[in-house]
């Protein structure tokens, strides 16, 4: 089926069929290797992973849990740095029942969050990659739930960011809920702090000054992790400011393992899925960002200063400041009517604040950056169906956003042309009947064309390139491509591009009875809309990360939360992928023509 040459963007492959295999299923002719998995050693002093004798100290020296974002930054012809997020932990799958006390589990979980930087090198087969042995790895790094971050941008030091442990409001320990991300043109990695609200519990009343803000961010103090048992800052009632120190985009410089990672406050605070940067016509850094919640918004940031493309320390120093000054916008979508048979229209980026001047009446710059959702609510943006990854296509200059689903569309959220479905068809079991359910269950892929092709423009046109689901369901749409030839796709989450500009889409939460997977779809030419499934992931897993290597030989994915199914436990797992143990281990996988 697959041919050599041209790389994954142009190679034909026989699409993988929907299935429920407990493995990574790739097209005939392709191979799939684990690059690094939960617990793997990263440093000379890392202990070997032993599920029965985990400690917080060992977790901090090993690859973390639930890898999500995947970045690959070349450091030589045959070497690269792999940068991943560790979004959250599945304690019921990580720890043998009864073996650890509750405080130890929490401390290990905190150290298993965060990010990893891992030196990797080409393997023996063309397209394969493997971890560099730790004895010769120089760039490896773990960022955990206790690593110190510097707060950057206009909100640094603001009163609401100060706590008992950090009276400066400029030094935050840890990052949590890191979902997707992006690699910047200046070689740093951005990572989104998404569901940070779930990390806070409470022992008493909540601070009444923050009622509106807490409510808008889902900060109820009902976080079930109970981390305040081991660190009092997670008690919302006694440390009301700690949650204001999360919900940011963090920026990490993998080339300097001793650098402080930063929380970039100019990019606003919400449930950040991730951020992806393009350079505008005039040289500004433009970061596109989604707020992953039902009915929340799409944002972008445009830097005040210009990107310096030169090599060298001076340019690098300047570029590292790009995200600290500029303007934050939120998107409004206007439909042109459905009489044309297409969900499309025009749009506007509404300015919220610059680093020096707020455009939202009654709110300061810091107010807008800290309570970005409340600020956006005042300017009338469009409530979207859970904006996930949003990324500019470097080949055609358009921007693609995964809108994963919204079970409440058509009920608590009225439909509009950008969010058109009040009902959709799903399938409870693979091969079972399609049944109609309320809401948008399978998601969309939104295509944005910046005004005059300039990412800094404040106007755009848009269309829903894909209305996802089963091709047999009448509501689905694949950019007009013949539906009998496409793969079913449900709940798009992360997006990536290959060298010819094809869009690659990974999914989370398939509603058609199959495991989640990765899909390739051309965005132009006669094949525009021809969605083909490239792989599926093991039982209970979501497909994250996707990244096509610069040489087009390798398709990286993160297999997140294998075995995460209802009722699964360490002793009774629903997955034993990748097969090294009798319990599942999240891992980064490389797929290549073998
Ligand atoms: Fe962590 Fe929005 O998915
Ligand atoms: Ca239309
Ligand atoms: Ca995601
Ligand atoms: Ca997800």
Q: What is the pLDDT of residues 458-516, one digit of tens each?
A: 999 999 999 999 999 999 999 999 999 999 999 999 999 999 999 999 999 999 999 99
Give the ligand 1 atom nearest the CA of 68: 1
Q: What is the DSSP string of 431-477?
A: TS--EEEESB-S-EEEEEEEGGG-TT-SEEEEEEEEE-B-TTSTT-E
Neighbours of 61 (CB within 10 A): 19
Distance 386 CA to ligand 1 centre (A): 9
Give the Å distances, CA to CA, from 580 to 40, 208, 320.
Answer: 12, 50, 40
Give the ligand 1 atom nearest the CA of 195: 1
First to last CA, the chain: 12
* Protein residue with least CA distance to atom 3, ligand 1: 179
Ligand 1 and 296: CB distance under 6 A: no
Mean pLDDT by 10 residues, the chain (594 residues): 64 97 98 98 98 98 98 97 98 98 98 98 97 97 98 98 98 98 98 98 98 98 96 98 98 96 99 98 98 98 98 96 99 98 98 98 98 99 98 98 98 98 97 98 99 98 98 98 98 98 98 98 98 98 97 97 98 98 98 94
Task: State whether residue 36 is helix, strand or coil.
Answer: strand
Task: State whether residue 79 is helix, strand or coil.
Answer: strand
* CB distance 87 to 177 below 8 Å: yes
**Per-residue model confidence (pLDDT) at position 307:** 98
* CA–CA dist 282, 492 (Å, integer): 32
* CA–CA dist 408, 117 (Å, integer): 38
Ligand 1 and 532: CB distance under 6 A: no
* CB distance 203 to 235 below 8 Å: yes
CA angle 233, 215, 444 (to 5 degrees): 110
Ligand 1 and 292: CB distance under 6 A: yes
Q: What is the DSSP string of 278-334?
A: EE-TTSEEEEEEEB-SEEE-EEEEEEEEEP----SHHHHHHHTTGGGSEEEEEEEEE
Neighbours of 336 (CB within 10 A): 14
Give every CB contact of residue 344 below 8 A, 6+ residues apart in sequence: 335, 336, 417, 461, 462, 463, 464
* CA–CA dist 489, 262 (Å, integer): 36
Which of the ligands is closest to the CA of residue 69?
A: 3
Per the structure block, which two tokens stand in for 315? 């340019």
User: Look-up: residue for tokens 């449900």?
Assistant: 490
**Per-residue model confidence (pLDDT) at position 1:** 35
What pTM, to 2 d.p., does this model score?
A: 0.98
Ligand 1 and 273: CB distance under 6 A: yes
Distance 287 CA to ligand 2 centre (A): 27
Per the structure block, which two tokens stand in for 415? 């439909």
* CA–CA dist 334, 419 (Å, integer): 11
Distance 339 CA to ligand 4 centre (A): 34
Ligand 1 and 544: CB distance under 6 A: no
Ligand 1 and 194: CB distance under 6 A: yes
φ and ψ of 483, to 5 deg: -70, -25
Q: Among 469, 491, 310, 461, which Cα is nearest to 398's?
A: 461
**Per-residue model confidence (pLDDT) at position 291:** 99
* CB distance 297 to 216 below 8 Å: no
**Per-residue model confidence (pLDDT) at position 102:** 98
DSSP 8-state symbol, 488: P
* CA–CA dist 512, 489 (Å, integer): 8
Measured over the CA atoms of residue 219, residue 174, residue 355 and residue 453, the dihedral's sign is negative
Q: Provide the pairing of β-strand 492-497 with 477-478.
A: unpaired
Distance 282 CA to ligand 1 centre (A): 32
Ligand 1 and 355: CB distance under 6 A: no
Per the structure block, which two tokens stand in for 547? 């990244």
Per the structure block, which two tokens stand in for 381? 């943006």
DSSP 8-state symbol, 157: T
């Amino acid at each position: 089926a697959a041919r050599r040459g041209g790389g994954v963007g142009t190679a034909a492959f026989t699409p993988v069929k929907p299935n429920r295999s407990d493995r990574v299923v790739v097209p005939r002719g392709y191979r799939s290797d684990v690059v690094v998995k939960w617990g793997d050693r990263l440093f000379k002093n890392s202990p070997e992973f032993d599920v029965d004798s985990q400690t917080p100290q060992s977790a901090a020296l090993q690859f973390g849990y639930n890898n999500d974002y995947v970045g690959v930054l070349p450091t030589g012809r045959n070497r690269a740095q792999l940068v991943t997020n560790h979004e959250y932990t599945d304690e019921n799958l990580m720890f043998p029942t009864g073996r650890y006390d509750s405080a130890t589990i929490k401390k290990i979980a905190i150290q298993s969050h965060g990010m990893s930087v891992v030196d990797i090198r080409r393997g023996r087969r063309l397209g394969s990659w493997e971890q560099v042995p730790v004895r010769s790895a120089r760039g490896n790094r773990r960022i955990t739930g206790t690593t110190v971050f510097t707060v950057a941008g206009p909100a640094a030091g603001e009163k609401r960011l100060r706590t008992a442990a950090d009276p400066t409001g400029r030094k935050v320990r840890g990052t949590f809920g890191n979902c997707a991300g992006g690699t910047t043109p200046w070689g740093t990695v951005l990572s989104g702090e998404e569901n940070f609200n779930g990390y806070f519990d409470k022992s008493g009343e909540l601070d009444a000054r923050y009622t509106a803000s807490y409510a808008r961010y889902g900060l109820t103090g009902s976080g079930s992790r109970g981390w305040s048992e081991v660190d009092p800052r997670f008690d919302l009632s006694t440390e009301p400011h700690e949650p204001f120190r999360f919900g940011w985009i963090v920026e990490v410089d993998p080339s300097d393992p001793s650098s402080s990672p930063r929380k970039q406050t100019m990019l606003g605070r919400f449930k950040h899925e991730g951020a992806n940067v393009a350079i505008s016509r005039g040289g500004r850094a433009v970061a596109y960002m989604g707020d992953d919640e039902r009915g929340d918004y799409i944002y972008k940031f445009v830097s005040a200063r210009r990107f310096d493309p030169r090599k060298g320390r001076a340019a690098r120093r300047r570029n590292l400041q790009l995200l600290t000054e500029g303007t934050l916008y939120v998107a409004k979508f206007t439909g042109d009517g459905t009489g044309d048979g297409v969900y499309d229209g025009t749009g506007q980026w509404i300015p919220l604040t610059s680093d020096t001047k707020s455009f939202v009446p009654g709110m300061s710059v810091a107010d807008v950056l800290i309570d970005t959702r409340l600020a956006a609510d005042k300017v009338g943006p469009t409530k979207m169906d859970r904006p996930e990854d949003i990324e500019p296509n470097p080949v055609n200059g358009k921007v693609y956003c995964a809108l994963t689903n919204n079970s409440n569309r058509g009920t608590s959220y009225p439909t509009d042309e950008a969010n058109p479905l009040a009902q959709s068809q799903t399938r409870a079991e693979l091969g079972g009947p399609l049944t109609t359910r309320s809401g948008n269950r399978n998601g969309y892929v939104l295509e944005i064309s910046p005004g005059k092709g300039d990412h800094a423009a404040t106007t755009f046109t848009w269309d829903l390139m894909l209305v996802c689901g089963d091709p047999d369901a009448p509501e689905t749409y694949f950019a007009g491509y013949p539906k009998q030839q496409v793969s079913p796709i449900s709940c798009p989450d992360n997006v990536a591009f290959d060298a010819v500009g094809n869009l690659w889409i990974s999914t989370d939460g398939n509603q058609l009875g199959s495991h989640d997977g990765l899909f390739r779809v051309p965005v132009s030419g006669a094949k525009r809309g021809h969605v083909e499934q490239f792989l599926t992931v093991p039982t209970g897993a979501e497909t994250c990360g996707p990244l096509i290597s610069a040489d087009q030989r390798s398709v990286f994915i993160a297999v997140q939360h294998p075995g995460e199914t209802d009722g699964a436990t360490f002793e009774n797992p629903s997955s034993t992928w990748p097969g090294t143990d009798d319990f599942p281990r999240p891992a980064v996988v490389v797929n290549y023509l073998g």
